[in-house]
Amino acid sequence: MAKLPSRRDESLGGYIVHGLPFPIDSDPESLAFLKKLAPIEIEQEYKITYLHSYGQDSPWFAGLTNRRLLASQDPVHGYTYATPRGHDMYSGEETNWIDITDRPAKVHAFTVCYFGSEEFLPETPFVLALVQLEGVNTLLLTRIMGVDPHQPSLDWIGMPVTPRFLRNSKLKPTDVYFIPS
């Protein structure tokens, strides 16, 4: 007959508890102190797998992954959005995808970011710009690399820029950035 375990195997499992106060004896007066015990707090790592869909914007991100910058264009009036849109905001018509990768582009406005979200904090300061692309009606918010954020210059306004793409796509808008032409 197989021997049955007399105790359960234990592992830390992410928990380490130190010095949790508890009375040594169990008479009611000693246990009364438990009513004054502060709540026990446990810190543990939490991981979740999140499934996100880009839906109608998926072609835009597929373009970035393949080093192509796409725009959305209203098929009736030709109004062109630098950022992905499934439908024209005026007519409601479904937009078409057009490739704007090789179109002339220039800096319309910029700012130097000295603070950013946790993801971008190690990269501060960085230059964030609105880029104007020829034949596109809206501006593209993007990063400008190859300029010194410690020496910002109004000469950057109107500066011709060229898109560049991350070699290893992260399927994020930051997969595209611009450099001076």
Helix (H, G, I), strand (E, B) or coil at 36: helix
CA distances for 129 relative to 132, 148, 149, 159, 162, angstroms: 10, 13, 12, 11, 13
Walk along the chain (181 residues) in steps of 10 and give the mean pLDDT of each run.
Answer: 73 67 75 79 81 90 96 94 92 94 98 89 93 98 96 97 94 94 95
pLDDT of residue 83: 93
Number of Cβ within a 10 Å radius of residue 65? 15
pLDDT of residue 122: 86
Q: Are 107 and 131 in contact (CB under 8 A)?
A: yes
pLDDT of residue 90: 86
pLDDT of residue 134: 98
pLDDT of residue 38: 80
Q: How far apart, in whole angstroms, are the C-alpha atoms of residue 36 and residue 20? A: 13
pLDDT of residue 40: 79
pLDDT of residue 11: 67
Number of residues that make up the chain: 181
